[in-house]
Amino acid sequence: MGRRRLLWQLFPTYLFITFVSLGAVTWYMSGALRSFHIEQTALDLEARGHLIEHQLRGHLLPSESAYIDTLCKELGRESKARITVILPDGTVLGDTEEDPGRMDNHAGRPEIILALKGRVGVSTRFSHTLQKEMLYVAVAVVEGKAIVGSVRVSIPATAIDRTLESVYLRLGWAGLVIALVAAALSLVVARRITRLLEEMKRGAQRFARGELGRRLPISRTEEIGALGVALNEMAAQLDERIRTMASQRNELEAVLGSMVEGVLAVDAEARILRLNQAASRLMGIEVTGATGRRIQEVVRKTDLQRFVTRLLESREPVEGDIVLQFGGVERFLQAHGTPLRDAQGREIGALIVLNDVTRLRRLENIRRDFVANVSHELRTPITAIKGSVETLMAGAVENHQDAQRFLGIACRQADRLNAIIEDLLALSRVEQEAEREGIPLQFEALKPVLEAALQVCQQSAEEKPVRVNLFCHPDLQARINAPLLEQAVVNLLTNAIKYSSPEGTVLVEAARFQSQVMIKVQDWGCGIAREHLPRLFERFYRVDPARSRNLGGTGLGLAIVKHIAQSHGGEVVVNSTPGQGSSFTITLPAPVDASGGR
């Protein structure tokens, strides 16, 4: 977007302010004039009512209705107003426009109610008799100290509006004239300001030879932008050393800010000289409040304090591991420290570089546990097979019954060994495809996939027996890999059937909730204790190892479910209560244009 002249920024602003101000004043004056005119008209009608009230004293009787009606019509024609005389019970004795005998009872009119209370009643409303908006003013007729009736004087409200129209017209013309004058004055003032700025520009160009060394931002306004350009020319005359130092400092800040490693510099007394954002994040401190303070005051971590002390005392490069606790979670840092020297080579402190190796440590622990678990899981069937074969070789093969028993043991353990290997290969295949290019996903209906999983588990459910119920809307869709998702649901269904009681029920439900598609497998079996839930999806982790092996589990089913859910861009969560059952829920991203429901 190009720069605009300052004149065409100031002048429209002045015009806008002028017109808004005139509009506000006109609106206020119009309302005030109308209110004032209505108030004066009401006072005039009140005065007329009091004059008529004096003529009615002694005559305000039902027997005098003909005289009162004639008086109302004569006075109404002369005063160009409608006059109505009403008794305290609301009966109309006389009216300028209508026959009193055909008029409604007026006891409920607001102005009449106020008049019969001894006050002046004023009301503006639509008259059904005259079919127009009317201004009513009513006063009481008093004889002695008693109110014997009321007199109401009214005129059409349109008469007030006609009177005000000429006033409004004059106000409009006056406002237009004022607006034109203000516009001319705004133009003069705007031109004056721009001329002053142009003179400042010419003066700044004279200083651009090196007398001023400050850069200014460039505005989109043409005049101020030109002034900024002229003043920035003076910045080119700054001393080379200052510019070099500023450049080096900016480069250092950029490098430190972009580093993933934490960098901490302390002086000889362990006061913090500099630290980057990564270091503040790793140590859990704020950058702004840490500079200049001792490390012991800022970081309440013994391992880090000891490392800094050892580094300052040794005057040699030091390496070490630091373990920090944050909210009950351990963070492992690998620290490298070296003496910090100034330009003359004097030691002024120490420089520490911190690397977060928490993920590597956790991966090492997982790898170590995995190797141990795999070894243990494979050793059991191999030992059983070897023992059966050795027994057969020792002579048990001669006994047909013993031979069949030991061969059955070897066969079952071989099947178990094969199942472990197949699950390991499946898990490895899912991980490799997800890491390499991602598994192929496409929009498909979920119900056929869930029905296929139920068919796979139907035989085991009938053998238990366990009833499996499926609830899924036929139109519910998601971006899935059907074979992998079917495998995940089969794994969850297999566990639910295994750990359900005979004659129990397993529920499979799929539905869309906000931006997610949820597939829930729920059973009402033995449940899982709370302390096992965080590790439930680890490879070979078993809540009850003996029972799990007896039921034929490999310890990899839930790990496979977890990786399949993650490869779909979702996750799997578990909720369980011992003795009440468990529910496993796979959440998948819902397609934007999907309309499926329960």
CATH label of the domain that carries residue 499: 3.30.565.10
Residues 462, 582: one domain? yes
Residues 378, 311: one domain? no
The verdict on residue 74 lying in a domain is yes
CA distances 170 to 19, 23, 71, 165, 294, Å, are 17, 14, 40, 9, 78
Residues 146, 32: one domain? yes
Q: Tokens at residue 302, please?
A: 């013994």
Of 409, 429, 449, which residue constitutes the final position of a domain?
Answer: 429
Tell me the average pLDDT of the chain.
77
pLDDT for the residue 510? 92
Summarize pLDDT for 67-118 with one digit per residue, the tens. Answer: 888 888 888 888 778 888 888 888 888 888 888 878 888 888 888 888 888 8
Tabulate helix, strand, coil % of the chain (nearest 5): 55, 20, 25
In this prediction, residue 522 has a pLDDT band, given cuts at 50, 70 and 90, of: very high
Average pLDDT over residues 565-588: 89
pLDDT for the residue 595? 44
Q: With 90 as the cut, is the pLDDT of residue 360 above it? A: no
In this prediction, residue 596 has a pLDDT band, given cuts at 50, 70 and 90, of: very low
Residues 509, 571: one domain? yes
147 and 120 Cβ atoms separated by less than 8 Å: no
In this prediction, residue 507 has a pLDDT band, given cuts at 50, 70 and 90, of: very high
Cα distance between the two ends of the chain: 52
Residues 284, 403: one domain? no
CATH number, domain with residue 371: 1.10.287.130
Residue 263 backbone class (left: φ over 0; alpha: ψ -120 to 50; beta: rest):
beta
pLDDT for the residue 583? 92
Which of the two residues, 166 and 336, has the higher pLDDT score? Answer: 336
Summarize pLDDT for 176-214 with one digit per residue, the tens. Answer: 787 778 777 777 777 766 665 666 665 565 555 555 555
* Lowest-pLDDT range of 130-139, 328-337, 433-442, 520-529: 433-442
CATH number, domain with residue 282: 3.30.450.20
Strand bridging mode 516-523 / 504-513: antiparallel
* Lowest-pLDDT range of 327-341, 352-366, 369-383: 369-383
Residues 151, 271: one domain? no
Domains: count for the chain: 4
The verdict on residue 60 lying in a domain is yes
Average pLDDT over residues 262-291: 80
pLDDT for the residue 584? 92
In this prediction, residue 508 has a pLDDT band, given cuts at 50, 70 and 90, of: very high
pLDDT for the residue 11? 65
Ranked by mean pLDDT, the top range of 20-34, 269-283, 474-488, 548-562 is: 474-488
73 and 81 Cβ atoms separated by less than 8 Å: no
Percent of the chain at pLDDT exceeding 70: 75
φ and ψ at residue 590, rounded to 5 degrees: -85, 140
Residues 445, 478: one domain? yes
pLDDT for the residue 231? 63
The verdict on residue 407 lying in a domain is yes
pLDDT for the residue 520? 92
Ranked by mean pLDDT, the top range of 230-234, 361-365, 476-480, 532-536 is: 476-480
Residues 349, 418: one domain? no
DSSP state of 398: G
* Lowest-pLDDT range of 199-213, 279-293, 461-475: 199-213
Which of the two residues, 551 and 258, has the higher pLDDT score? Answer: 258
Ranked by mean pLDDT, the top range of 50-54, 351-355, 363-367, 573-577 is: 573-577
**Pairwise CA distance, residues 257 & 280, whole Å:** 11
* Lowest-pLDDT range of 205-209, 387-391, 545-549: 545-549
Ranked by mean pLDDT, the top range of 266-270, 365-369, 507-511 is: 507-511
138 and 112 Cβ atoms separated by less than 8 Å: yes
Q: Tokens at residue 580, please?
A: 């009440």
Which of the two residues, 4 and 117, has the higher pLDDT score? Answer: 117
pLDDT for the residue 268? 82
The parent domain of residue 398 ranges over 361-429
The verdict on residue 585 lying in a domain is yes
Summarize pLDDT for 402-447 with one digit per residue, the tens. Answer: 777 777 777 776 766 676 666 666 666 666 665 555 678 888 899 9
In this prediction, residue 318 has a pLDDT band, given cuts at 50, 70 and 90, of: confident
pLDDT for the residue 377? 61
The verdict on residue 409 lying in a domain is yes
pLDDT for the residue 509? 93
Average pLDDT over residues 389-396: 75
pLDDT for the residue 399? 75
Please tell me whether the overall predicted TM-score, pTM, comes out greater than 0.75 for this model: no
pLDDT for the residue 1? 47
Residues 314, 458: one domain? no
Residue bearing tokens 């498909």:
444
Residues 283, 366: one domain? no
The verdict on residue 459 lying in a domain is yes
Residues 351, 419: one domain? no
Q: Tokens at residue 400, please?
A: 């047909």
Residues 419, 329: one domain? no
The verdict on residue 436 lying in a domain is no
The verdict on residue 216 lying in a domain is no
Of 356, 382, 408, which residue constitutes the final position of a domain?
Answer: 356
Of 128, 162, 196, which residue constitutes the final position of a domain?
Answer: 162
pLDDT for the residue 319? 87
Q: With 90 as the cut, is the pLDDT of residue 471 above it? A: yes
Q: Is 371 helix (H, G, I), strand (E, B) or coil?
A: helix
Q: With 70 as the cut, is the pLDDT of residue 51 above it? A: yes
Closest to 138 measured CA to CA, from 125, 113, 119, 121: 121
Percent of the chain at pLDDT exceeding 90: 6
Summarize pLDDT for 19-37 with one digit per residue, the tens. Answer: 787 777 777 777 777 777 7
Greatest C-alpha distance within the chain? 146
